[in-house]
């Protein structure tokens, strides 16, 4: 079969490999400790479910406007205005089935062959994958553990060329849990303004923060005009399977993102959209409870990891992953993750799935119970000792 050449640029296999193996093992009835999980292990809050059921019963089963129903765009504009301390109007908002299509649409709308897209490394792998897919070139911005996986701004400036079009930011970060401080966001803003660049700010973990408060690059003066801010419902409201995200862009870009939705998806699922309004406007108590549970698990996981010889991680300040350095093991991270799955029944993601800088690391998720964390760590320690 002759496939289009661009298919060679789609990545993400490092994560797909683990997922497939986990599914196969579970289908055979084997127990797998899910320390690879990329989604909250909580149920969607009941009021949100009820709002979707009411919408279904009320006949909201038809196409909606491509950019989303007005009530949801309004609720999102209010939420972002409040939480990011910027003024957003509903005509800057586009709703889509998840953050992921919006990452794609941003790249498709802004980048073309000849453009460079600077992507943090390690990072969620689909930024680089989709930048390359649309014909641009992903350029890796290495982040290191000794700087807390923060941005090295001198290095970033070195990577900027006349071809640089877009810089991707993901704070709090998957997989490192790092959060950019106000000072770092301002330093980034200076570079973006100086070189006339755009920012894609993936803020999907904005509510899952444990130490300091989260700030958006869009709140730095001059930056909301050149930032595509993307957030969604998957993580904050435990709604991964609902597929709902949104972008907030400068007004001139909104029709183009909307056109991409119209050409590919038509719109987001009708009865999920009133439920998303309920998510934003209803009680935030379930979200607060989830965050407190994640904080307890994080502390347990981090101290457990740092007690195992050969493993070390920093305390993630946000998201729900501990990016763990592995020393003294003579195996690439992909092989080590396979070994832990087959020998110990623990699923983790190999650091290399998040970029070349992730080699030598494993991503351990705390979106699993405290009992799973304890058992998973015990099994990992045993399996490492047998190597």
Give contact residues for ligand PLP (rule: CB under 6 A).
38, 98-100, 124, 170, 174, 202, 204, 232, 234, 240, 245
How near is the Cβ of 135 to ligand PLP at its closest, in Å?
22
Nearer to ligand PLP, 238 or 311 (CB): 238
Nearer to ligand PLP, 177 or 376 (CB): 177
Nearer to ligand PLP, 100 or 297 (CB): 100
Nearer to ligand PLP, 200 or 344 (CB): 200
Helix, strand, coil percent values for the chain (each to nearest 5): 45, 15, 40
Residue listed under structure tokens 């020998």: 343
CA–CA separation, 32 vs 14, rounded Å?
Answer: 18
How near is the Cβ of 275 to ligand PLP at its closest, in Å?
15
Secondary structure of residue 321 in the 3-state scheme: strand
How near is the Cβ of 237 to ligand PLP at its closest, in Å?
11
- Least Cα distance to 6 among 129, 152, 174 occurs for 129
How near is the Cβ of 98 to ligand PLP at its closest, in Å?
3
With 0-12 / 13-18 / 19 or more C-beta atoms within 10 angstroms meaning exposed / middle / buried, residue 258 is: buried
Residue 222, phi-psi category: left (phi > 0), alpha (psi -120 to 50), beta (remainder): left
Nearer to ligand PLP, 9 or 127 (CB): 127
How near is the Cβ of 100 to ligand PLP at its closest, in Å?
4
Nearer to ligand PLP, 358 or 384 (CB): 358
Contact 52, 274 (CB under 8 A): yes
Q: Between the CA of residue 61 and those of 232, 258, 272, 324, what are the distances in Å?
A: 21, 20, 10, 45
How near is the Cβ of 330 to ligand PLP at its closest, in Å?
30
CA neighbours within 13 Å on the CB side: how many for 351?
A: 24
């Amino acid at each position: 079969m002759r496939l289009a050449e661009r298919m060679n640029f789609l990545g993400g296999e490092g994560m797909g490999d683990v997922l497939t193996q986990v599914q196969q093992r579970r289908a055979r009835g084997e127990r797998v400790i899910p320390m690879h999980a990329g989604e909250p292990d909580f149920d969607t809050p009941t009021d949100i479910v009820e709002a979707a059921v009411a919408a279904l019963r009320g006949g909201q089963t038809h196409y909606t406007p491509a950019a989303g129903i007005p009530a949801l765009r309004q609720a999102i504009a209010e939420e972002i205005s409040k939480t990011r301390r910027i003024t957003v109007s509903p005509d800057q908002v586009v709703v889509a089935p998840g953050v992921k299509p919006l990452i794609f649409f941003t790249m498709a709308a802004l980048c073309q062959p000849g453009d460079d897209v600077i992507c943090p490394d390690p990072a969620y792998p689909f930024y680089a994958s989709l930048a390359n897919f649309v014909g641009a070139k992903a350029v890796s911005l290495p982040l290191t553990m000794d700087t807390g996986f923060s941005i090295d701004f001198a290095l970033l400036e070195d990577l900027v060329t006349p071809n640089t079009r877009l810089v991707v930011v993901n704070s709090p970060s998957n997989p490192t849990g790092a959060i950019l401080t106000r000072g770092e966001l301002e330093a980034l803003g200076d570079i973006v303004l100086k070189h006339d660049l755009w920012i894609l700010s993936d803020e999907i973990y904005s509510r899952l923060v444990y130490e300091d408060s989260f700030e958006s690059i869009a709140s730095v003066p001059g930056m909301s005009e050149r930032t595509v801010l993307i957030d969604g419902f998957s993580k904050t409201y435990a709604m991964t399977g609902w597929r709902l995200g949104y972008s907030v862009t400068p007004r001139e870009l909104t029709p183009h993102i909307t056109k991409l939705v119209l050409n590919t998806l038509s719109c987001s699922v009708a009865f999920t959209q009133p439920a998303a309004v309920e998510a934003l406007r209803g009680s935030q108590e379930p979200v607060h409870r989830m965050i407190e549970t994640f904080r307890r698990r994080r502390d347990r996981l981090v101290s457990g990891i740092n007690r195992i010889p050969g493993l070390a991680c920093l305390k993630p300040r946000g998201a729900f992953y501990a990016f763990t350095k592995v020393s003294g093991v003579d195996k690439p991270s992909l092989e080590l993750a396979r070994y832990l799955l087959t020998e110990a029944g623990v699923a983790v993601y190999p650091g290399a799935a998040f970029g070349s800088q992730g080699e030598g690391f494993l991503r351990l998720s705390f979106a699993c119970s405290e009992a799973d964390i304890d058992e998973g760590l015990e099994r990992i320690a045993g399996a490492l000792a047998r190597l």
